[in-house]
Amino acid sequence: MTTLNITRAVEIFKKYVSRPVRLEAECVGSKVADLDREYINRTGNTIQTDGFYTIRESSKWGAELRIYFNCSDEVYEELRNCGFHIESGQPYNPDYVYRINNNRLWWALVDAGLRIGTNS
Protein backbone atom coordinates (compact mmCIF):
# COMPACT_ATOMS: atom_id res chain seq x y z
CA MET A 1 0.00 0.00 0.00
CA THR A 2 1.54 3.27 -1.07
CA THR A 3 1.36 6.57 0.76
CA LEU A 4 -0.46 7.99 -2.26
CA ASN A 5 -3.16 5.31 -1.94
CA ILE A 6 -3.54 6.02 1.77
CA THR A 7 -3.80 9.76 1.09
CA ARG A 8 -6.39 9.18 -1.64
CA ALA A 9 -8.42 6.87 0.61
CA VAL A 10 -8.46 9.49 3.38
CA GLU A 11 -9.78 12.04 0.86
CA ILE A 12 -12.48 9.57 -0.20
CA PHE A 13 -13.50 8.96 3.42
CA LYS A 14 -13.64 12.68 4.17
CA LYS A 15 -15.65 13.63 1.07
CA TYR A 16 -17.68 10.65 -0.06
CA VAL A 17 -18.17 7.99 2.61
CA SER A 18 -21.51 8.20 4.42
CA ARG A 19 -21.46 9.03 8.11
CA PRO A 20 -21.22 7.55 10.62
CA VAL A 21 -17.84 5.84 10.28
CA ARG A 22 -16.71 3.64 13.15
CA LEU A 23 -13.09 2.98 14.16
CA GLU A 24 -12.43 -0.02 16.37
CA ALA A 25 -9.33 -1.73 17.68
CA GLU A 26 -8.78 -5.30 18.77
CA CYS A 27 -5.49 -5.63 20.54
CA VAL A 28 -3.61 -8.36 22.35
CA GLY A 29 -3.17 -7.43 26.01
CA SER A 30 0.60 -6.99 25.85
CA LYS A 31 0.23 -4.32 23.12
CA VAL A 32 -2.60 -2.24 24.61
CA ALA A 33 -0.17 0.20 26.26
CA ASP A 34 1.58 0.74 22.90
CA LEU A 35 -1.76 1.47 21.21
CA ASP A 36 -2.76 3.85 24.01
CA ARG A 37 0.56 5.68 23.79
CA GLU A 38 0.37 6.07 20.00
CA TYR A 39 -3.23 7.29 20.22
CA ILE A 40 -2.28 9.91 22.83
CA ASN A 41 0.70 11.03 20.71
CA ARG A 42 -1.52 11.51 17.65
CA THR A 43 -4.67 12.95 19.24
CA GLY A 44 -3.66 14.40 22.59
CA ASN A 45 -6.45 12.32 24.15
CA THR A 46 -6.51 9.06 26.02
CA ILE A 47 -8.67 6.20 24.82
CA GLN A 48 -11.79 6.09 26.95
CA THR A 49 -13.22 2.72 27.94
CA ASP A 50 -16.83 3.79 27.68
CA GLY A 51 -18.12 1.20 25.24
CA PHE A 52 -17.70 3.28 22.10
CA TYR A 53 -14.85 1.14 20.87
CA THR A 54 -13.37 -2.29 21.44
CA ILE A 55 -10.01 -3.19 22.86
CA ARG A 56 -10.00 -6.68 24.26
CA GLU A 57 -7.74 -9.63 24.72
CA SER A 58 -7.30 -11.64 21.58
CA SER A 59 -5.13 -14.30 20.07
CA LYS A 60 -3.49 -11.75 17.80
CA TRP A 61 0.15 -10.63 17.87
CA GLY A 62 -0.62 -6.92 17.93
CA ALA A 63 -3.45 -4.55 17.10
CA GLU A 64 -6.05 -5.11 14.42
CA LEU A 65 -7.50 -1.72 13.54
CA ARG A 66 -10.86 -1.78 11.81
CA ILE A 67 -12.87 0.77 9.88
CA TYR A 68 -16.63 0.19 9.56
CA PHE A 69 -18.58 2.23 7.03
CA ASN A 70 -21.36 2.50 4.47
CA CYS A 71 -20.96 3.96 0.99
CA SER A 72 -22.22 3.90 -2.58
CA ASP A 73 -21.03 1.32 -5.10
CA GLU A 74 -18.92 3.99 -6.80
CA VAL A 75 -17.08 4.86 -3.58
CA TYR A 76 -16.60 1.16 -2.83
CA GLU A 77 -14.91 0.74 -6.22
CA GLU A 78 -12.71 3.82 -5.66
CA LEU A 79 -11.46 2.37 -2.37
CA ARG A 80 -10.84 -1.02 -4.01
CA ASN A 81 -8.93 0.75 -6.79
CA CYS A 82 -6.71 2.24 -4.07
CA GLY A 83 -5.75 -1.35 -3.21
CA PHE A 84 -7.84 -2.00 -0.11
CA HIS A 85 -9.44 -5.33 0.64
CA ILE A 86 -12.99 -4.48 1.69
CA GLU A 87 -15.04 -7.04 3.56
CA SER A 88 -18.82 -7.06 3.15
CA GLY A 89 -21.76 -9.23 4.00
CA GLN A 90 -20.29 -10.27 7.33
CA PRO A 91 -22.20 -10.05 10.61
CA TYR A 92 -19.41 -8.12 12.38
CA ASN A 93 -21.46 -4.99 12.92
CA PRO A 94 -25.05 -4.84 11.62
CA ASP A 95 -24.99 -1.04 11.29
CA TYR A 96 -22.32 -1.12 8.57
CA VAL A 97 -22.09 -2.86 5.22
CA TYR A 98 -18.30 -2.65 4.83
CA ARG A 99 -15.16 -3.15 6.89
CA ILE A 100 -11.51 -2.48 6.12
CA ASN A 101 -8.80 -3.94 8.34
CA ASN A 102 -5.82 -1.74 7.63
CA ASN A 103 -3.66 -0.21 10.35
CA ARG A 104 -2.04 2.43 8.11
CA LEU A 105 -5.38 3.73 6.85
CA TRP A 106 -6.86 3.64 10.38
CA TRP A 107 -4.04 5.82 11.73
CA ALA A 108 -4.28 8.15 8.71
CA LEU A 109 -7.98 8.61 9.44
CA VAL A 110 -7.14 9.37 13.08
CA ASP A 111 -4.59 11.92 11.87
CA ALA A 112 -7.35 13.41 9.68
CA GLY A 113 -9.61 13.91 12.70
CA LEU A 114 -11.59 10.70 13.15
CA ARG A 115 -11.49 9.09 16.58
CA ILE A 116 -11.90 5.62 17.97
CA GLY A 117 -15.61 4.89 18.24
CA THR A 118 -18.42 6.25 16.10
CA ASN A 119 -17.69 9.39 14.06
CA SER A 120 -20.78 11.28 12.88
Looking at residues 22-48, what average pLDDT do you find?
Answer: 87
Q: Is 0.75 surpassed by the pTM of this model?
A: yes
Q: Where are the domains of the chain?
A: 3-119
Looking at residues 2-16, what average pLDDT do you find?
Answer: 95
Q: Name the band, by pLDDT with cuts 50, 70 and 90, for residue 52.
A: very low
Q: Which residues contact 108 (CB under 8 A, 6 or more apart)?
A: 6, 7, 9, 10
pLDDT at 1 over 90: no
Average pLDDT, the chain: 88
Q: Name the band, by pLDDT with cuts 50, 70 and 90, for residue 104.
A: very high
b/e sequence 39-73, b meaning 16+ C-beta within 10 Å: beeeeeeebeeeeebbbeeeeeeebbbbbbbebee
Higher pLDDT, 119 or 53: 119
